[in-house]
Structure 1
Amino acid sequence: MAERMGLDVETLDELCANWPGASRSIKWEVDLVWSVAGKMFAVLCMLGPERGRLSFKVEPERFLELTDQPGYAPAPYMARAFWVSVTEPQDFAEAELAGYVRQSYDLVRAALPKKTQAALDAKA
């Protein structure tokens, strides 16, 4: 069976829903946003010409490496915070994109205050 490509809304929801402190919202009328403790870690455009574009945070040392590759670009408005957009998500395996989303969650969570992280662990 061929591996599914890209990440759709349902798959992203299934992926993130059980992570401690993760919450889902719609922002800017077209973007599905997953956050942890109010800090975004994944954005999926759901409408318009950018539909399907997935953006997430990466480690600073991976930012230039990824944005030099075809299919990736600095995320609009968020590149300064080391966010990457997958411009052609259908060209990437679901598992690869899911891994980047998890890494983004982990990076954002690690930057939260220790007290907030402990509270997330207590709720899990």
Structure 2
Amino acid sequence: MNLAEFNHFCESLPCTTHVVQWGNSDVWKVGGKVFAIGSISRDEHPAFTFKTSEQNYYFLEEKPGYRPAPYLASRGMKWIQQYNCENDEDEALKYYLSASYKLVSLGLTKKMQKELGLNQPQ
């Protein structure tokens, strides 16, 4: 996945906003809370950072092409960065980005979730 594809995917999720910050990174938020960050690494490869469950965190930190997210993971947060992965990882990345979006949206206040129409009973 390249940065344009990453941005297109994140934009497709409901109620997301995009800002460029932290050294020209594409930062995606839901309800004002970050769920994904896309950037270009020092070696000119795309790098994608996302929040994950504790179980997925421990699985991914050992997988080639993934690592605990710089800065965030060192502060005890369960964030992973995908870097230097092959194209066959695109579907997995979409899954993890969607899961991050869900984790962050569930962490919003009930009032905010209702205002955004997220996580509401059908």
Q: Which runs of 5+ in 1 are unaligned?
A: 1-6
How far 1:46 moved relative to its partner? 3.1
Alignment of 1:50-65 (within 5 A): 51-65=45-59
SS in 2 for 1:99: helix
Cα RMSD between the aligned structures?
A: 1.8
Structure 2-normalised TM-score? 0.84
Give the partner amino acid of 2:115.
Answer: A
Alignment of 1:60-99 (within 5 A): 60-79=54-73, 80-90=76-86, 92-99=88-95
How far 1:47 moved relative to its partner? 6.0
Give the partner amino acid of 1:106.
Answer: K
Relative contact order: is structure 1 or structure 2 higher (C-alpha 8 Å, sep ≥ 6)? 1
Distance in 1, matches of 2:102 and 2:11, equals 14
For the pair 1:114 / 2:115, whether they are aligned, the reply is no
Check the 8 A contact 2:57/2:79 in 1, yes or no: yes
Distance in 2, matches of 1:50 and 1:37, equals 31
Aligned sequence identity (%): 29
Check the 8 A contact 1:71/1:91 in 2, yes or no: no
Give the partner amino acid of 1:18.
Answer: S
Matching residue within 98, 103, 106 for 2:99: 103
Distance in 2, matches of 1:70 and 1:91, equals 14
Q: How many residues align?
A: 116
How far 1:92 moved relative to its partner? 4.3
Q: Which runs of 5+ in 2 are unaligned?
A: none
How far 1:94 moved relative to its partner? 1.4
